[in-house]
Amino acid sequence: MLAAVIFDFDGVITDSEILHFRSFNQVLAPYNVTLTIKDYYKNYLGLTDIDLFKLLVDKGILAVDTCEIKNLAEQKSRVFKKLAKTEGRIIEGVRDFLQIVRQNNIPMAICSGALLAEIELILDEAHLRSFFEVIISAEQVKKNKPHPDGFLLTLAKLNEKSRDVIAPGQCIVIEDSHWGLKAARAAGMHTIAVTNSYDAEELALGEKIISNLGQLTINDLQKLCD
């Protein structure tokens, strides 16, 4: 039985991956480091800001002390917030789909590798914050996707608010990356992949693959949980 829908944020709710990409490159520019769009989507998109900078340092691409990583992540967050206020966009089909799920009294949550302030900024600007009972962000878990920790914490928080206990198999996760799909499956949850960031071939872990949330019906969701 379907009992909850959990969304990734960047690339599922909002078309913000390109804003993250631009923000990283703006912060990296003084160090003569530039990420290509192909490299970003292939190797870095599923990472938190901290983990991305750590990986660049570990690869020898970014020559800074590890103690500087937190400062770089804070710079990147400030740049992103400025871009999001003027260029943030909710993906087509999302708003109507959220309405459908709400009308069927299914609780919704977000589990994202983005920072809470960034998520809430875009949701507030779009007047979508009220749809989500729980938001789990990068700073709330020690191990982010592809580890299942974020989804398990999301479920625990949903259960704190639910009269009936929700099991992992009663949850559907909507993701746009293989990192997220792997994490959701490791948490024992059902998966839907949306091809906003990657082609369908790269999202084979999804039990159902779609190009737009507008293609989904409540019946589609319920069938996955039967």
Q: What is the reported pLDDT for 84?
A: 87
Domain spans, the chain: 4-15+89-225, 17-87
Question: How many percent of the chain have pLDDT more than 90?
Answer: 89
* Tokens standing for residue 167: 């099991």
User: Where does residue 126 rank: exposed (0-12), middle (13-18), buried (19+ CB within 10 A)?
Assistant: middle
Q: What is the reported pLDDT for 88?
A: 78
Q: What is the pLDDT of residues 82-108, one digit of tens each?
A: 998 888 789 999 999 999 999 999 999
Return d(Cα 87, Cα 138) in angstroms, integer.
22
pLDDT band at 193 (very low <50, low <70, confident <90, very high): very high
Return d(Cα 149, Cα 160) in angstroms, integer.
17
Q: What is the pLDDT of residues 127-179, one digit of tens each?
A: 999 999 999 999 999 999 999 999 999 999 999 999 999 999 999 999 999 99
- The CATH topology of domain 4-15+89-225 is Rossmann fold (3.40.50)
* Tokens standing for residue 187: 């948490």
Total-model pTM: 0.86
The CATH class that applies to domain 17-87 reads mainly alpha
Return d(Cα 115, Cα 128) in angstroms, integer.
17
